[in-house]
Amino acid sequence: MGFCKKCGSELKGNAEVCPVCGAVQDKNSKKKKAVFGEKVSQEFDEEDIQENKVAAVLAYLGILIVVPLFLSKDSKFARFHAGQGLAVLLASIGYQMAVGVMTSVLTVLSWRFYYLTGIMRIAGAAFMVLSAMGIMNAVNGEARELPVIGKWKLLK
Ligand SMILES: [Zn+2]
pLDDT band at 144 (very low <50, low <70, confident <90, very high): very high
113 in the same domain as 89 = yes
131 in the same domain as 54 = yes
4 alpha carbon – ligand 1 mean position (Å): 5
E strands in 25-66: 38-39
Among 7-16, 39-48, 71-80, 115-124, the range scoring the smallest mean pLDDT is 7-16
Domain count along the chain: 2
22 alpha carbon – ligand 1 mean position (Å): 6
pLDDT band at 142 (very low <50, low <70, confident <90, very high): very high
19 alpha carbon – ligand 1 mean position (Å): 7
Task: Tell me whether residue 150 is in a domain.
Answer: no
pLDDT of residue 84: 97
23 alpha carbon – ligand 1 mean position (Å): 5
Q: What is the pLDDT of residues 7-48, one digit of tens each?
A: 988 888 777 888 899 888 875 545 567 899 999 988 999 999
112 alpha carbon – ligand 1 mean position (Å): 63
- Calculate the alpha carbon distances from 12 to 16, 84, 132, 142 in Å: 9, 47, 41, 35
Task: Tell me whether residue 155 is in a domain.
Answer: no
pTM score over 0.85: no
Task: Tell me whether residue 64 is in a domain.
Answer: yes
How far apart are alpha carbons 111 and 129 in whole angstroms? 30
Give the domain range for residue 78. Answer: 33-145
